[in-house]
Amino acid sequence: MLLLLGGFLLLMLLGVPVAIAMAASSLLYILVSGVTPDVTLAQRMIAGVESFPLLAVPFFILAGNLMNIAGVTGRIYKFAVALVGWMRGGLGHVNIIGSVIFSGMSGTAIADAAGLGTIEIKAMKDHGYSTEFSVGVTAASATLGPIIPPSLPFVIYGMMANVSIGALFLGGVIPGIVMTLLMMATVTYFAHKNKWGSDTPFSWPQLGSAGLEIAIVLAFPLAIWLMVVAGMSTNMAVVIGLGVLLAIDWYFDFSAVMALMAPVILIGGMTLGWFTPTEAAVAAVIWSLFLGLVRYRTMTLKTVAKATFDTIETTASVLFIVTAASIFAWLLTVSQAAQMLSDWMLSITHNKWVFLALANVLILFVGCFIDTTAAITILVPILLPIVLKLGIDPIHFGLIMTLNLMIGLLHPPLGMVLFVLARVAKLSVERTTVAILPWLVPLMLALIAITYIPELTLWLPKYMGLSK
């Protein structure tokens, strides 16, 4: 066990990429201990990625890339300005609302930071906001990406924990709303403290237009339900509803109706049983292609090819991490390390609330050093048996783990969101880290609320019949 963990930690300290560190330490442990034949290494590598749910990873990544090149980010920004730009600290609120909408398409914090972050930070600096505040609010809002469905970390966790990915998606809705409100409250605090005004004049027509777009999106599932109640088949009701929606959007050229429809289509399709969460990722790609090639006509074959190659590059790195992490996690189990860590944590407490506090500290620490995908793959086999033994719902724990790891993305030494935003804002990593620190307050408050109020996570999956 010491050889496995010690080798991994040593390689990480030497700056070796996390996937190579896990693979190398695993190979060294197998060669020295002789605990299993060498061929097992190859078998575990194949088993680690031979999973149907993992197919969602490249498709969700591709959907996010396609949305970026389709110009949807600009439309989202315009809509958010109309909706909340008139409030004090307006562009701070715009930043958060924009991330909420983009989260429903990308599923990753890095895509949010890199996609919307470029537009938002520049706009905020042009309106007189400090670079540090602009970076801080962008970093905090980027954590919404993996919480509001769809979510790549939920896909990985669901695969590892054998939990319904659809239930995890629904479980993220209310926590996402809570996080949004806490972040907007933080912007309001800074606005009053610094005596900031609004960034756009209040306009009833603009606000009404944004409100109308939200009403149209909310009216879609209501209209489907009414048609079904009236005796129409569900499939026909959806076809008619989508046809009417597209016609209205084409005529009025709304800013964000089509973007807002992405999570509605994905969650609605899963609820109706049309597709699994994995197939929902394919639906997200089809929707993205439709918007870029047909509705907005902002894509070309060249840009689609670029998005595809970017997706291949990102997917390869993710699956390499999953492969190495699956070997490492399996060896942790074989070497009894996972059991020893589990026994040690249970020796400290059998109270589930105390355990959740300890788990938060552990996952936060791990999230600062290890990639999100690798952390989930390693930690789930260790912590899930304890979670089940203490009667904690694994869906609830999935939200806790994901949020902890998202907060870890904001910190050195591995914080990818931190590095992306430092590059976008042309700030040093040190200044970017300091800029993010005040935003840990709403994030930690959200973490405490999600940890100790399980119904925030579990109510919606239970109501929709995806959880007991």
pLDDT mean values, one per 10 residues, the chain (468 residues): 76 76 82 71 68 75 79 81 90 88 66 68 85 89 84 86 88 94 94 87 88 92 92 90 92 86 81 77 87 87 88 79 78 72 79 93 84 84 90 95 90 71 78 89 95 95 81
- 208, part of any domain: no
Tokens 């806790």 belong to residue: 400
- 269, part of any domain: yes
- 178, part of any domain: yes
User: Looking at residue 226, what is its pLDDT?
Assistant: 93
- 236, part of any domain: no
pTM equals: 0.82
- 248, part of any domain: no
Tally of domains within the chain = 1
Q: Whole-angstrom Cα distance, residue 244 to residue 217?
A: 12
Is-contact 253 295, C-beta < 8 A? no
Cis peptide before 150 (omega within 30 of 0): yes
- 394, part of any domain: yes
Is-contact 396 171, C-beta < 8 A? yes
- 19, part of any domain: yes
The region that residue 144 occupies, defined by phi over 0 for left and psi between -120 and 50 for alpha, beta otherwise, is: alpha
- 211, part of any domain: no
Any idea what DSSP says for residue 149? S
CA angle 12, 447, 151 (to 5 degrees): 70
Q: How far is CA 395 from CA 65, 266, 402, in A?
A: 28, 19, 11
User: Looking at residue 356, what is its pLDDT?
Assistant: 95
User: Looking at residue 426, what is its pLDDT?
Assistant: 79
Look at residues 202, 265, 207, 270 and name the one whose alpha carbon lies nearest to residue 238.
Answer: 265
Q: Whole-angstrom Cα distance, residue 339 to residue 451?
A: 24
Q: Whole-angstrom Cα distance, residue 153 to residue 343?
A: 27
Look at residues 395, 396, 456 and name the one whose alpha carbon lies nearest to residue 165.
Answer: 395
DSSP characters over 253-287: --SSHHHHHHHHHHHHHHHTTSS-HHHHHHHHHHH
Q: Whole-angstrom Cα distance, residue 59 to residue 315?
A: 9
Q: Supply the range of the domain harboring residue 336.
A: 2-202+256-463
